[in-house]
Amino acid sequence: MRNLSASLLVIFAALSIAGCTRENDAGTLLGTLEWDRISVPAEVSEPVTQILVKEGDNVAADQLLLVLDPRRTQAQVDAAQADVARLSAALDELRHGARAETIDASRAALARAQAGAVNAKLARDRAAEIRKRGLNSQADLDNADAALRQANAETNSARASLDELLHGTRVEDISQGEAALAQAQAQLAQLQVTLSHLSVHATRAGRVDSLPYKTGDRPAQGASVVSLLVGDAPFARVYVPETMRANLKQGARFKISIDGAAAPFDATALRIASEPTFTPYYALSGDDASRLAWRAELALDASEKTKDLPAGIPCRALLATSEKH
């Protein structure tokens, strides 16, 4: 009889503890503290030459964080600048037209071609006369005809070149020159932006969370070289069970408890996912283990105590109304 009484007492105590646990857990949401993260990618694959910060440092907006080797990109910028200068000079030449010396040289070339054509005609006439007498072959006459045609073609070419210089540059040629120059200038501007990004600056004020590469490493193009935690305060990423989802709204106030913190932190529900997800392993308990949960983000009120809280630590969120009740 005494053993039966002791057994009943143990069972009653266990049921009481289980009931208290379920009651305490009814309004508690489990999750982790997180910060908004910004990743700064590598514009090109170049070795890291300098790292000016370390993980955990607080940095200001536009502060220099690290430097990638700029020599290759600087050479490309220099080549693009030379190409812009060349195309700019060519466009100026098109706009200003030919120089007087160039026109004089073209006239002299035409006179030389005309003189050659005159001599070729005389030679052809002599060959034709001799052929009539039967003193030369037909091949000699054919060669003289070919020489005359070639001399006339050279004369026509020289005359066309002179006419082109005298009539000036066509509008279409100037338009093509302007387009080529604009393309070269755009390429130069793009390379200059890439060169400036080899000096990696903080895009926002925050705290350095991760520096995955060391001096001498060559990150791949697009790889994150710096990860920053930004914002005035972290947020709690928690999971809302099905039993609480219907009554939980954005703007609800919570108390966030963290192991090691003397007092809970105030927080506000910012976002609640519209689609459910399976409850993560650290939020599984009892009958709730098989239920769906909705991910929610609770923004902690910014203060001196919250600005240095680390990311990833477990936390517990309790609705402020539930706590008072």
DSSP state letters, 72-98 = HHHHHHHHHHHHHHHHHHHHHHHHH--
Please tell me the predicted confidence (pLDDT) of residue 287.
57
Please tell me the predicted confidence (pLDDT) of residue 23.
39
Please tell me the predicted confidence (pLDDT) of residue 93.
80
Cβ atoms 53, 213 nearer than 8 A: no
Please tell me the predicted confidence (pLDDT) of residue 311.
87
Sorted by where each begins, the domain ranges of the chain are 27-68+208-324, 74-193
Residue with tokens 């002599």: 126
SS3 253: strand
Is 0.75 topped by the overall pTM? no
Please tell me the predicted confidence (pLDDT) of residue 68.
96
Q: Which two tokens stand for residue 236?
A: 């709690």
248-263 as b/e: b if 16+ CB within 10 A? beeebebbbbbeeeee
- Strands 224-241 and 292-300, by their bridges, are antiparallel
Which tens digit of pLDDT belongs to each residue from 87-131?
999 888 877 776 777 777 888 898 898 988 898 888 888 888 888
Cβ atoms 42, 226 nearer than 8 A: no
- CA-wise closest residue to 33 among 282, 306, 321, 319: 306
Surface-to-core class of residue 246, CB atoms within 10 Å of its CB (0-12 exposed, 13-18 middle, 19+ buried): exposed
Q: What is the CATH number of domain 27-68+208-324?
A: 2.40.30.170
Please tell me the predicted confidence (pLDDT) of residue 85.
95
H or E stretch covering 167: helix 138-167
At 285, the amino acid letter reads S
Give every residue of the chain whose pLDDT is below 70, as ranges: 1-26, 98, 166-169, 278-292, 321-325
